[in-house]
Structure 1
Amino acid sequence: PFLIRAAVIEGVATATEVSTIGIFYSVLAGLLIYRRFDWRRLYPMLIETASLSGAILLIIGTATAMGWALTQSGFSRELARAVTSMPGGVAGFMAASILAFVVLGSVLEGIPAIVLFGPLLFPAARAVGINEVHYAMVVILAMGIGLFAPPFGVGYYAACAIGRVSPDAAMGRIWRYLGAVLAGLVLVAAIPWLSTGFL
């Protein structure tokens, strides 16, 4: 843990890259310290990991292509214009933003969605009097709903691939999770203090 923390803080590697240190340590501990890890299991595990990573990267790649297409079509500017012109003031803007980011979270990967729409909608949120930290919390929760919402959610299919569960079989169980996240999202959106109370 100290090596991983030092590598991230010193800028040697990002948090994602430094995870390989944990994996390498786990393999060495299993082989040399606990002696419950067989060398022959390593190659099939690496093959399975590579195929799973390839499937997830394919999903992310197609989501990134979708983000590029939305940018080129001018959809992001039209969305920002539509959201800022919504009636209802702060509540209307927040409701429209939630709806927009739930949809965006289901068809785009998180980083492209924020890169595309963050610079357009965050100044608009500031203009109507919404705290930026509060708005960021609402956006992240809304995208979390979209990320796992069938039938388009990228995270939903990635989770099914990791858990080796058919997306059709998991469809009935995901709604309780989404309902809990939606309840949390409504609370955070309605009570700004939950996001900004300790700033």
Structure 2
Amino acid sequence: MNFALGFLPVALLLLGFPIFLVLLTSVCTALVFFMDVPLAALQQNLFGTIDSYALLAVPFFVYAGELMGRGSVAQRLVDIVQSGIGSVRGSLGLTTVGTATIFGAISGVSSAAVATIGKVMVPAMRRAGYSDKFSAGLITAVGAIDVIIPPSVPLLVYGMAAQESVPKLYAAGLLPGLMIAAMIGIYVVWVSKKEGVPPGERFQLRTFARALGRGVWALGAPVIILGGIYGGVFSPTESAVIAAIYAALVTRFVFRELGWKDILEASVATVMFSGQVLLIVACAGVFGWLLTVNQVPTTMVQWLTEAQVSPTMLLLALNILFLVVGCFIDPISAILLLSPLLIPIVKAAGIDTVHFGIVVTVNLAIGLFHPPFGINIFVAQTMLGLKLETIYKGIVPFIVIYLIALALITYLPAITLASMRMMM
């Protein structure tokens, strides 16, 4: 059994097999060679895992982001943020941070923010005198905020895997996400002053009002999502459906930028992405069932109790684990792979599972732009046409910023739980 649960998954991962195939192969090997269990259990657990009302939110949130990312929504958001910032030195960099954060409250998918916001902001930053290294590092890193603030798809998946409230997780992720955005913003201003980047145009109420009028419909999506959930009007799944309908109506009939063909293409892209996610969810669910049946989590909890590991040291060890895992595996796969094993350990140590969910998500957000396999790096490379070496150099300062934020979030739970208590 140790072969099926330990050696085989690691070996398949190192050989480059897709994560769903790694999990499914391990389960099939265990059932056929090491367990006296009917193979029907595999089918039952595969379908039982994705038979979840909460998971319905995934395709609808992704669809809303797809629609909003295909028109001029990004440019409209940029105009609002830029006209509101005014002549602050580093205004274009700050606009990138602010726009990506707002876009994250629509999409919840990091790579979408990198591609959509990057197309608008990077050429403007080049013209303003920002180096390619800094511009690439900024857009690659700032997109990772989108998996921390609501409606984050990884947080939704963690809520399902940990049997935790998704509204609580969304509320808890808001303040850490904004804190990271503020820290990046401070660094942007410092770099702009150091490199002598000229300030932007002065704030003008008329310009801001005009930009707000053009973009107010784009701001409606996050207002609907967050206002509906925390106003008690509808659940996260219902808010996802309403956001998708809203995005379709706005992009088709208000902005008049997307035709029916574009809407169909967005639907196809959503189906492809959602199919990948749900396939991983199903295989991770049956792998988690296999771990539970073989009492692996129980054994680890007993070992933890006997070793008397403090919560502080446990969180440090788990941070290191998720930072390493996040460099090689996407956030959703990592959450589904490790949650069945770690949630019982975290509970036994007395760590709040909402707080732990944000810690996990921030770790994996770093993995999105951390070498060698961060998906945001390759999206930025494709979009900007830069060498990986240039992007890697630009990323380093932002990795440091995220690690500082991670330490604060990990060991100051009030940062995570304060917004949850205010909003719930």
Do these two structures clear the TM 0.5 threshold for a shared fold by scoring above it? yes
When residues 3 and 163 of structure 1 are mapped into structure 2, their CA distance, relative to the original with a 3 A threshold, is closer
Counterpart of 1:94 in structure 2 is 93
Counterpart of 2:201 in structure 1 is none
Q: Distance in 2 between matches of 1:181 and 1:2?
A: 36
For 1:145-160, what aligned pairs fall within 5 Å after superposition? 145-150=145-150, 152-160=151-159
Deviations 1:49-98 (A, max 9, x none): 43456542232123223334xx1xx3333444566674234x22222211
Deviations 1:120-175 (A, max 9, x none): 2111122223233433433344333333323x444433432333322233356435
Counterpart of 1:35 in structure 2 is 35
Rg larger for: 2
Counterpart of 1:77 in structure 2 is 75
CA RMSD of aligned residues (A): 3.7
Please tell me the residue identity of whatever aligns with 2:66.
Answer: T
Secondary structure of the residue aligned to 2:129 is coil
**Larger deviation: 92-101 or 182-191?**
182-191
Tell me if structure 1 keeps the 8 A contact 2:152–2:170: no
Counterpart of 2:137 in structure 1 is 137
**Structure 1 gaps, min length 5:** 9-17
**Larger deviation: 98-107 or 74-83?**
74-83
Q: Distance in 1 between matches of 2:189 and 2:33?
A: 52
Deviations 1:101-126 (A, max 9, x none): 10011202334333333222111122
**Residue 116 (structure 1) aligned with residue 116 (structure 2):** yes
Tell me if structure 2 keeps the 8 A contact 1:30–1:36: no
Shift of 1:194: 6.7
When residues 136 and 194 of structure 1 are mapped into structure 2, their CA distance, relative to the original with a 3 A threshold, is closer
Q: Distance in 1 between matches of 2:165 and 2:66?
A: 24
Q: Distance in 2 between matches of 1:37 and 1:185?
A: 52
When residues 121 and 111 of structure 1 are mapped into structure 2, their CA distance, relative to the original with a 3 A threshold, is same
Counterpart of 1:12 in structure 2 is none
Please tell me the residue identity of whatever aligns with 2:73.
Answer: F
When residues 183 and 113 of structure 1 are mapped into structure 2, their CA distance, relative to the original with a 3 A threshold, is closer
Q: Distance in 1 between matches of 2:148 and 2:124?
A: 27
Counterpart of 1:195 in structure 2 is 395
When residues 184 and 124 of structure 1 are mapped into structure 2, their CA distance, relative to the original with a 3 A threshold, is same
Counterpart of 1:126 in structure 2 is 126
Please tell me the residue identity of whatever aligns with 2:168.
Answer: A
**Larger deviation: 49-58 or 93-102?**
49-58
Q: Distance in 1 between matches of 2:134 and 2:82?
A: 17
Q: Distance in 1 between matches of 2:178 and 2:98?
A: 15
When residues 84 and 167 of structure 1 are mapped into structure 2, their CA distance, relative to the original with a 3 A threshold, is closer
Counterpart of 2:415 in structure 1 is none
**Residue 22 (structure 1) aligned with residue 22 (structure 2):** yes
Q: Distance in 2 between matches of 1:167 and 1:44?
A: 25
When residues 180 and 92 of structure 1 are mapped into structure 2, their CA distance, relative to the original with a 3 A threshold, is closer
**Structure 2 gaps, min length 5:** 1-9, 192-392, 398-424
Q: Distance in 2 between matches of 1:78 and 1:180?
A: 24
Counterpart of 1:161 in structure 2 is 160
TM-score by length of 1: 0.66
TM-score by length of 2: 0.35
Counterpart of 1:13 in structure 2 is none
Please tell me the residue identity of whatever aligns with 1:117.
Answer: I
